[in-house]
Amino acid sequence: MNLLILGATGRTGRELVRVALSRGHHVTAYVRSPEKLGAERASLRVERGDALDTDRLSAALAGQDAVVSALGLPAKLALRPSTFMAEAAAATVAAMKRAGVNRLALVSAAVLFPGKGLFYAFFRWFLRHHARDLSAMETVVRATALDWTIARPPRLVASADERIRIASGTLPDRSYSLSFRALAGFLIDCAESDRHAGEIVGVAR
């Protein structure tokens, strides 16, 4: 398959690149700063561009079979008001429609699932700005006719652990973390098929 990855320089994005290449896919990394890919660039088609630039993104999507997005904000920016995730989703959707690409798998966050208890309430308040932006992002994606899958993981950690539990429309019980690698594997699984098309999926270790 020909896969275009957004957010390829981030921790989930790098794992997406690794998993996709290991499965024999042709990978295009659409990134603002190609130099951050380091040695990985040798195995990739790299397209420099801004995630909000619909024209450049649609050009990069020519010939692609699916888009996998691991776009996100740095932690300190996620604590401030932002519309980046929603704007990036709108640009991605518009570019995909223009290029005729229909499959999209992307990362959101488990904080959008309803939860009870003081700890959850505090966590949701702490991330309220990012949660609002992610909710708007999901609204943009869900309003389309694309074959989309939205993955909502809890805290992501660096680990070689590839174990994952999956629940449609909710977070699996006793879910506290998930490895970047396991999340990447799930997203590539979705891009390879119609698995979980049109679903919001809770994913956790």
Assigned token pair, 142: 């869900």
Tell me the one-letter amino acid at 188. I
* pLDDT exceeds 80 at position 151: yes
Coil, strand, or helix at residue 192?
coil
The count of structural domains within the chain is 1
Assigned token pair, 38: 């380091």
R_g of the chain, CA atoms, integer Å: 16
Mean pLDDT value across residues 40-45: 76
| Domain with 130 in it | 2-204
- Interatomic CA distance for residues 192 and 27, integer angstroms: 13
Burial of 49 (0-12, 13-18, 19+ CB in 10 A): middle
| Mean of all residue pLDDT scores within the chain | 93
CATH of the domain at 81: 3.40.50.720
Q: List, in sequence order, every beta strand (DSSP E) within 14-74.
A: 26-31, 45-48, 66-69
* pLDDT exceeds 80 at position 72: yes
Task: Give the model confidence (pLDDT) of 19-30 as tens digits.
Answer: 999 999 999 999
- Interatomic CA distance for residues 162 and 180, integer angstroms: 9
* pLDDT exceeds 80 at position 200: yes
- Interatomic CA distance for residues 179 and 161, integer angstroms: 6
CB 31 within 8 A of CB 48: yes
Q: Listing from the earlier edge strand, what are the strands of the sheet with 165-168?
A: 45-48, 26-31, 2-6, 66-69, 103-107, 147-152, 199-204, 165-168
- Interatomic CA distance for residues 66 and 148, integer angstroms: 10
